[in-house]
Structures are given as C-alpha cells and as structure tokens.
C-alpha cells in the first residue's frame, strides 16, 4: 500500500477487502452496539496494563498502533512518557473519533493493517493487540508493517491468552496449532522473532537488526 493512501472510510476498506465486514461490534464497532463495545474495550484491564508496562517508550518515540479501538493503550503510553508521538489506524470511524477524544493531537486515522497512510520507515514501534487474526490478508499486512517501521524498529503483536487469561479471554484463546501457524506467518516477514506467553497475552516481538528488544519482566 502506498504511503499516499488517504480518505479511507469503513465502507471503502470493506469494499477493498482490507477489512472484514464483521457483525460483532467488537470486531468492527458501528452504531449503538459499537459505542457500547467501545466503552467496554476502553475500560482498564489487566491485559492492557501488562502490555503498556512492556512497551519501551523513550522520549520522542513514535508508536503506531493498529486497531487502537477507543485508544486506551495510546493514552496510557502518553501518561507513561508525555513526549511519545502517537499514531495509528483503525477501520472503525466510530473508534477513531473516540480515540481522538482520549488522545488529542495524536495522528489517528481510518485505515487497516494492510493500508496505513504513513510514510516509509517512520515508526519506532508498531503495536497490534487482539486483532491480527482478523486481518483478511495477514501476509499483506506484515509487508505493510515492514514498510512503515524504521530500521531497528520493533513490532509487538499480542493476542488473548497467556498463562492466566481472565473473563471473556478464556473463550478467545487459540489452540497450540493456531498459535504455531501465526508464529510461522510472522517469521516469514521478520527476523529475530520471539514468542512468549505473558500472564494475560500471547506476545510476539519482532525487530529489525539493531533493535534492543524488550527486557524480560
């Protein structure tokens, strides 16, 4: 996807096959049900708190989040480091508006993992939480992520699970063979991939040569 991509809407992303036409308000928040789903997703929970604690943010770091929802992770990162530069894409116009209210001044746009309207090599960290398996073309999305992430940059992908999934997470965890398949897909596009279970997430960390990675907690 060219970095000149602009003017995306939820409908145009669906029509282009870049986003699935999810009926679940959590998969693609729309309408009143989407607002309620956004409120639920915006609550502080143990999974997101755990991940925020792991994301390395030094002054001036540019973080791009794919599928940021109501923007709670981005807001927590800025609280952790006020100079962090926040950007991201989400296919839901409703969630972009909600996330901008929570993160004024952030560069948040309607878009998809395989269609990010950002320049080449401009992200220090790319984050995806609980949405990679919903991408219609995971390989195309990972190619796009490699375009946007800078040399030495870091990719973090998380999915429900870990050693102690809670509440609805238990219904969303994947069997080992599905996790292995996702792992193989990431490794086709990135070197130095590490997969490890956290307490509330399955986490993949991938980085280009020169990245320091995440210290074990």
- In this prediction the pTM is 0.89
Residue 42 lies in a domain: yes
Residue 215 lies in a domain: no
Domain count, the chain: 1
CATH of the domain at 60: 3.40.50.150
Residue 125 lies in a domain: yes
Provide the pLDDT confidence category of residue 64 given band limits of 50, 70 and 90. Answer: very high
- Structural domain harbouring 100: 10-207
Residue 216 lies in a domain: no
Closest among 116, 117, 133, 134 to 20, alpha carbons compared: 134
The predicted-structure confidence for 67-116, as pLDDT tens digits, reads as follows 999 999 999 999 999 999 999 999 999 999 999 999 999 999 999 999 99
Q: Out of 9-23, 38-52, 130-144, which region has the weakest mean confidence (pLDDT)?
A: 38-52
* DSSP designation for 26: T
Instruction: Give me the mean pLDDT over the 148-167 stretch.
Output: 92
- The set of residues, in sequence order, having a beta carbon less than 8 Å from that of 23 and lying 6+ positions away, is none
């Amino acid at each position: 996807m060219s970095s000149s991509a602009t003017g995306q809407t939820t409908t145009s992303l669906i029509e282009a096959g870049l986003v699935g036409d999810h009926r679940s308000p959590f998969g693609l928040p729309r309408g009143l049900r989407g607002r309620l789903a956004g409120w639920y997703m915006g609550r502080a929970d143990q999974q997101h708190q755990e991940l925020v604690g792991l994301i390395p943010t030094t002054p001036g770091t540019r973080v791009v989040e794919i599928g940021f929802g109501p923007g709670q992770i981005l807001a927590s990162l800025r609280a952790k480091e006020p100079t962090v530069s926040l950007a991201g894409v989400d296919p839901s116009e409703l969630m972009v508006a909600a996330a901008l209210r929570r993160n004024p001044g952030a560069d948040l746009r309607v878009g998809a993992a395989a269609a990010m309207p950002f320049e080449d090599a401009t992200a220090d960290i790319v984050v995806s939480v609980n949405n990679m398996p919903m991408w219609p073309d995971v390989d195309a999305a990972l190619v796009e992520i490699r375009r946007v992430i800078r040399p030495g940059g870091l990719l973090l992908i998380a999915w429900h699970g870990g050693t102690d999934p809670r509440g609805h997470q238990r219904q969303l965890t994947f069997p080992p063979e599905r996790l292995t398949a996702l792992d193989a897909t990431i490794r086709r596009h990135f070197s130095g991939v590490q997969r490890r279970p956290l307490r509330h997430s399955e986490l993949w960390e991938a980085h280009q040569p020169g990245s320091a990675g995440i210290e074990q907690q």
